[in-house]
């Protein structure tokens, strides 16, 4: 199958070739049009004119000239009337034809850019300042101690940091850092608003502004206004609350990180299925195709789709039967199922929806319509699902959800003969944090650990909030030793994090127990083992990780 981008390029070439022929076609039309100005009826000349116009009306839109098609159609309708009468034109008719001919030529300048835009409008979003984010942060801060602290803390959260102690250093190094996020101090020794002035100067030559967060001890509106004008997307007062800063950075840089939607297509027609698959892939989705409906269960579990597109009529099993089967599996009770069919009978559509389908798309489906329906279905279901499975404070999986996923992941690891590690974490002396600094500070500590885990673990690792200050982590394709390695570096960094409560700083730590599926193949045994190891770690003095033996 031709790559969709290549196909787009080829169609574009054809469109250009068509466009190049248009002047010659207009010349021919004009020449043939002369026949209508003669004093006697010229049937042959008229037929040539009619054919030329008909050809434009039937081809323009195909090559991205919709307006041309329409103008030609209008002219063709007029010509049809004249062709039936077969009489020399009167003045009014001549004027009308002349007008329509001129409109025809004008319409050629309106190109649809349809072929290209159709996919671009789906696939790309508006460029945001952080669209090409490098993952690096430039800290521009003249206070060495402060700069070091920012660098250390941000690196715990997975950000790479470059420090510049003077504005001149930053200005010189800027070209190498044009995709970074800038953390800019406002006040410098040579200029109390130096940070704002330098950013204003640097933003001037740029199409897409550099994303910059200003750090300042000033709180006046004039300074804040200056910061906004210099491209400031956030303005934080000193002393900087690292938790808030990381929240801002995550929010700014996470837009591109969101995982691609996964769609499973079940359609016995291989060609049509791959056609739909291409459309969805162009919109950035990950697609798996199953041609035999009876083979759907394997991919359903392995691929974990966000939505299933099911053809209505297939040999062996109908779409509605398949939807009922899928709905009887607990994990898929809420997955959106969309039927595809040439069925236009509303009654039949409704009964299909009654049998567990969520929506009904009638073939043939325009690419944009397909992508839009699939996207909105998935979005809605993800929001709903997140209410069901996410912890509201941290956004991590909740207790039930992480246990469900553990059973699921264990089964998958077993099928694929891969290892899987499970870890239980508990923040040490958390009650003391709450008692000493209050619950809002305690919540922030919980959030900082959850963020650290999410940022430092791999994307396919699963993190859940198991209880108050207790977390659970599922590491796919890792044994206890590998899990130990990554979690221990997180443990070290977490213990070095300094949390801010009013004017006091404090730090805390966590203990952790790990078990893997080589010794504990069953969900409850695995969680018990990890829990026992965690208990031992606490008793051995906390701030450590033990592997279940």
Partner 1 sequence: MEDRLKCVLYVEDEPDIQVVARLALEVLGGFTVEICSSGEEAMVRAPEFKPQLILLDVMMPGMDGPTTLERLRVLPQFSATPVVFMTAKVQPDEVARYKALGAVDVIPKPFDPMTLAGKVQSIWERCHA
Eight-state DSSP code of residue 518? T
Residues 193-203 as b/e (b if ≥16 CB within 10 A, e otherwise) read bbbbbbbeebb
Stretch (H or E) spanning 57: helix 43-59
Is 135 in contact with 211 (CB distance < 8 Å)? no
61 binds partner 1 (CB under 8 A): yes
C-beta of 69: minimal distance to partner 1 in Å? 5
Q: At closest approach, how far in Å is the CB of 381 from partner 1?
A: 26
Euclidean distance between CA atoms 41 and 250, whole angstroms: 76
Rule CB under 8 A: is residue 69 a binding residue for partner 1?
yes
Among the residue ranges 263-271, 420-428, 446-454, 500-508, the one whose residues contact partner 1 (CB under 8 A)? 263-271
- Residue 7 in contact with partner 1, rule: CB under 8 A: yes
Q: Which residue in the set 23, 34, 58, 297 belongs to the binding site for partner 1 (CB under 8 A)?
A: 58
Residue 51 makes contact with partner 1 by CB under 8 A = yes
Minimum CB–partner distance for residue 265 and partner 1 (Å): 14
Return the SS3 of 147: helix
Tally of CA atoms within 13 A in the half-sphere of 258 that contains its CB = 9
Indicate whether 11 belongs to the interface with partner 1 (CB under 8 A).
yes
β-pair type (499-501, 504-506): antiparallel
By CB under 8 A, is residue 166 in contact with partner 1? Answer: no
Nearer to partner 1, 208 or 367 (CB): 367
Indicate the SS3 state at residue 117: helix
Beta carbon of residue 341, minimum distance to partner 1 (angstroms, whole number): 9
Q: Which two tokens stand for residue 80?
A: 């049809």
3-state helix, strand, coil in the chain (%, to 5): 55, 15, 30
Minimum distance of partner 1 from residue 52's CB (angstroms):
11
- Residue of 57, 107, 151, 394 that binds partner 1 (CB under 8 A): 57
**C-alpha distances in angstroms, 428 versus 288, 469, 491, 512, 527?**
44, 9, 11, 10, 19
Sites for partner 1 among residues 276-295 (CB under 8 A)? 278
For residues 170-209, which are near partner 1 according to CB under 8 A?
A: none
The residues in 299-358 that bind partner 1, with binding defined as CB under 8 A, are 313, 315, 342
Nearer to partner 1, 123 or 236 (CB): 123
CB of 412 to partner 1, least distance (A): 32
Choices 11-19, 102-110, 166-174, 389-397; region in contact with partner 1 by CB under 8 A: 11-19
Name the residue with tokens 């690891």.
413
Contact between 364 and partner 1 by CB under 8 A: the answer reads yes
Q: State which of residues 30, 120, 330, 366 lies at the interface with partner 1 (CB under 8 A).
A: 366
Residue (of 511, 411, 436) closest to 470 by Cα position = 511
Residue among 123 and 482 whose Cβ is closer to partner 1? 123
Q: Which residues within the stretch 113-142 sit at the binding site for partner 1 (CB under 8 A)?
A: 114-115, 118
Among 33, 60, 336, 442, binds partner 1 (CB under 8 A): 60
Decide whether 118 or 375 has the Cβ nearer to partner 1. Answer: 118
Q: How many CA atoms lie within 13 A of 53 on its CB side?
A: 29
Sign, CA torsion 312/339/259/494: negative
From 55, 203, 241, 381, residue interacting with partner 1 (rule: CB under 8 A):
55
* Residue 24 C-beta: closest distance to partner 1, Å: 12
CB 418 within 8 A of CB 436: no
Contacts within 8 Å (CB) and 24+ apart, 325-333 = 326/296, 326/300, 326/356, 327/356, 329/300, 331/301, 331/404, 331/408, 332/300
Q: Residue-wise over 446-458: b if at least 16 C-beta within 10 A, else e?
A: bbbbbbbbbebbe
Q: Which single residue is written with the structure tokens 């800290």?
A: 139
Cβ atoms of 294 and 17 within 8 Å: the answer is no
- Reported residue count of the chain is 549
The minimum distance between CB 545 and partner 1, in angstroms, equals 54
* Least CB distance to partner 1 at residue 267 (A): 10
Q: Is 182 helix (H, G, I), strand (E, B) or coil?
A: strand
Q: Among 275, 301, 303, 535, indicate the residue that binds partner 1 (CB under 8 A).
A: 275
Residue 332: helix, strand or coil by DSSP? Answer: helix
Between 104 and 441, name the residue whose CB sits nearer to partner 1.
Answer: 104
Among 208, 272, 482, 500, binds partner 1 (CB under 8 A): 272
Residues 394-453 that bind partner 1 (CB under 8 A): none
**Looking at beta carbons only, is 54 or 171 nearer to partner 1?**
54
Distance in Å, CB of 166 to partner 1, minimum: 56
Closer residue to partner 1, CB minimum distance, 59 or 241: 59
Q: How far is the CB of 366 from partner 1 (least distance, A)?
A: 6
Exposure string of 290-310, with b = 16+ CB inside 10 Å and e = fewer, is: beebeebeebbeebbbbbbbb
Nearer to partner 1, 273 or 514 (CB): 273
Is 269 one of the binding residues for partner 1 (CB under 8 A)?
A: yes
73 lies in the site for partner 1, by CB under 8 A? yes
Give the span between the Cα atoms of 3 and 477, in whole angstroms.
Answer: 32
User: Residues 96 to 115: which contact partner 1 by CB under 8 A?
Assistant: 114-115
CA 360 to mean position of chain CA atoms? 24
- Based on the shown chain and the rule CB under 8 A, indicate whether residue 367 belongs to the binding site for partner 1: yes
Residues that bind partner 1 (CB under 8 A): 1-2, 7, 10-11, 14, 17-18, 21, 51, 54-55, 57-63, 69, 73, 76, 114-115, 118, 269-272, 274-275, 278, 313, 315, 342, 363-367
């Amino acid at each position: 199958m031709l790559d969709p981008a290549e196909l787009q390029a080829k169609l574009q070439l054809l469109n250009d070739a068509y466009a190049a022929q248009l002047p010659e076609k207009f010349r021919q039309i004009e020449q043939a049009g002369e026949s209508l100005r003669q004093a006697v009826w010229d049937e042959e000349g008229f037929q040539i004119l009619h054919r030329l116009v008909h050809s434009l009306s039937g081809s323009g839109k195909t090559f991205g000239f919709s307006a041309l098609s329409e103008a030609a159609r209008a002219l063709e309708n007029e010509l049809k009337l004249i062709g039936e009468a077969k009489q020399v034109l009167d003045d009014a008719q001549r004027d009308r034809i002349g007008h329509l001919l001129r409109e025809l030529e004008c319409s050629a300048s309106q190109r649809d850019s349809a072929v290209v835009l159709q996919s671009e409008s789906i696939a790309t979003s508006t460029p945001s300042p952080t669209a090409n984010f490098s993952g690096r942060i430039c800290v521009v801060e003249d206070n060495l101690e402060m700069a070091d602290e920012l660098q250390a803390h941000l690196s715990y959260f997975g950000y790479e940091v470059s420090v510049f102690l003077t504005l001149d250093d930053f200005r010189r190094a800027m070209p190498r850092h044009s995709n970074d996020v800038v953390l800019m101090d406002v006040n410098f020794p040579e200029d109390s608003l130096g940070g704002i002035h330098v950013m204003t100067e640097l933003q001037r030559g740029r199409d897409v502004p550099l994303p910059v967060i200003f750090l300042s001890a000033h709180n006046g509106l004039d300074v804040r206004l200056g910061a906004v004008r210099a491209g400031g997307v956030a303005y934080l007062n000193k002393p900087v609350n690292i938790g808030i800063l990381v929240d801002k950075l995550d929010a700014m840089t996470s837009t591109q990180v969101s995982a691609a939607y996964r769609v499973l297509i079940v359609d016995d027609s291989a060609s049509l299925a791959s056609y739909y698959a291409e459309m969805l892939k162009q919109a950035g989705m990950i697609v798996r195709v199953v041609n035999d409906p009876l083979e759907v269960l394997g991919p359903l579990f392995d691929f974990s789709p966000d939505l299933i597109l099911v053809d209505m009529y297939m040999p062996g099993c109908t779409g509605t039967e398949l939807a009922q089967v899928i709905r009887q599996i607990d994990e898929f009770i809420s997955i959106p199922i969309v039927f595809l069919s040439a069925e236009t009978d509303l009654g039949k559509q409704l009964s299909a929806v009654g049998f567990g389908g969520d929506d009904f798309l009638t073939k043939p489906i325009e690419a944009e319509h397909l992508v839009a329906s699939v996207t909105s279905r998935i979005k809605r279901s993800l929001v709903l699902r997140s209410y069901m499975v996410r912890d509201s404070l941290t956004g991590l999986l909740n207790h039930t959800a992480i246990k469900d996923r553990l059973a699921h992941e264990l089964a998958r690891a077993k099928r694929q003969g891969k290892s899987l590690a499970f870890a239980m974490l508990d923040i040490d002396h958390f009650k003391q944090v709450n008692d000493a600094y209050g619950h809002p500070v305690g919540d922030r500590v919980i959030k900082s650990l959850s963020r650290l885990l999410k940022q430092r673990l791999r994307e396919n690792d699963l993190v859940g909030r198991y209880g108050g200050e207790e977390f659970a982590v599922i590491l796919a394709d890792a044994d206890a030793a590998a899990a130990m390695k990554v979690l221990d570096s997180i443990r070290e960094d977490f213990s070095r994090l300094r949390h801010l409560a009013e004017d006091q700083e404090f730090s805390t730590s966590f203990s952790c127990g790990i078990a893997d599926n080589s010794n504990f193949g069953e969900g409850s045994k695995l969680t018990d083992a990890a829990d026992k190891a965690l208990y031992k770690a606490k008793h051995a003095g906390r701030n450590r990780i033990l592997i279940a033996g």
